[in-house]
Amino acid sequence: MPTIHCKECEPDKSCGNLHLYVIEFKKEVEKEFKRKSKKGYLYVGSTGKSVEDRFSDNYIKKDGKWKYNSKNVKRIRKYFKKFRPELLYYEINPLTYKKNDKGQLERREAKLADRLRKRMPNWRIEGPTRKK
Ligand SMILES: [Zn+2]
């Protein structure tokens, strides 16, 4: 049975490939941004694990410290509203691994973020870009 994130993952087992995901933040996240969005705030991320496993890692503490604690992870812990698999990533997942292409995951992530920026101009979309 697939998950809401990937056609090939199972609820308790990753398909072993790479995954993209899109998270919608709660409206209160806007206090962290100078430029406010009329519609809302999204975050595009990627992982070599299943999206479920990566997400629960955001809530793991090791020796009293968060395992992940980047600016974006802090925002996810504070303002997570829901996943938005209909924003293309379910269709895209899973990405297959090309072992000697280290930049591929970030490129795919940036490409998805740019597509969403084009499609949803009134939303603010956090994540990498391919545009300079
Ligand atoms: Zn998968």
Nearest to 52 by CA among 25, 23, 88: 23
Q: Identify whether the C-beta of residue 83 lies closer than 8 Å to the C-beta of residue 6.
A: no
Tell me the residues surrounding ligand 1 (ion) with CB < 5 Å: 6, 8-9, 15, 94
C-alpha torsion sign, points 83, 87, 109, 9: positive
What is the chain's pLDDT, residue by residue, as a tens digit (132 residues)?
A: 899 999 999 999 999 999 999 999 999 999 999 989 999 999 999 999 999 999 999 999 999 999 999 999 999 999 999 999 999 999 999 998 777 777 888 999 999 999 999 999 999 999 989 886
- State the distance from the centre of ligand 1 to the C-alpha of 9, rounded, in angstroms: 4
Structural tokens at position 54: 């990566």
Q: 90 CA distance to ligand 1 centroid (A)?
A: 9
Beta-bridge partner residues of 23: 43, 83
Q: Where are the domains of the chain?
A: 19-126
